[in-house]
Amino acid sequence: KIQEKFPSINDYLREAGYSMLTITIFAFVPLFFIKHPAIGPHTTLYKNISDFGWAWFWGAFPIMFLMHDTYFYWAHRLMHHPKLFRLFHLVHHLSTNPSPWAAYAFHPLEAIIEVGIFVVFLFTIPIHPLHFFIFFLLSVIYNVYGHLGWEIYPKGFSRHWLGKWINTSVNHNQHHQFFKGNYGLYFLFWDRIMGTIRSDYDKKFDEVKTLK
């Protein structure tokens, strides 16, 4: 457990309510672009896997996660600008000790920004409907882990040659607790390159993994 206390019932209700609203927006926006008669034909959506083959079908996922991680990092940092924070991002940060329900507890304006990555996919890379389904499923799973309030990676992971580039629940929990630093989503490439990872991250990870 990363923070000893648990969220309150009101926290759970707020997070669940905003998360359900966000998921509705996440469903509507891509469908709008795909189904709109003036826009849909200009997207990169394709229906037959054979059009690009299985190699591209599976190879697209690492590209999608790298694209999303980059999109999220810079959009996230932008929403932390003092002039934008209250309007876009404050709702999410009401969860200073997040639960899994906080994963998609966004203000509707932030939800529109977040779902923008699906629009980016639709106009940059060949995308199959199954790409959307599998990508979103995996994204939900990792985002829930990031807001879990518990750390499941093993002791020493944050200092491992590979683990140091992977985002963790401890890392994102610190972001919610302190509001500054640790802006990444799946990876820590941008945080480490831009110097925005918290200096006490490794220490906090070690402390959490030594708790009984």
Return the pLDDT at 124: 97
pLDDT beneath 70, residues of the chain: 212
Q: Are 14 and 93 in contact (CB under 8 A)?
A: no
Q: Across all residues in the chain, what is the average pLDDT?
A: 96
| pLDDT at site 9 | 94
Cut 0.75: pTM above it: yes
Q: What pLDDT does 192 receive?
A: 97
Helix/strand/coil (H, E, C) string of the chain? CCCCCCCCHHHHHHHHHHHHHHHHHHHHHHHHHHHCCCCHHHCCECCCHHHCHHHHHHHHHHHHHHHHHHHHHHHHHHHCCHHHHHHHHHHHHCCCCCCHHHHHCCCHHHHHHHCHHHHHHHCCCCECHHHHHHHHHHHHHHHHHHCCCCCCCCCCHHHCCCHHHECCHHHHHHHHHHCCCCCCCCECHHHHHHCCCCCCHHHHHHHHHCCC
pLDDT at 8: 92
The predicted structure's pLDDT at residue 212 = 58
pLDDT of residue 211: 76
Question: What pLDDT, on the 0 to 100 scale, is given for residue 104?
Answer: 95
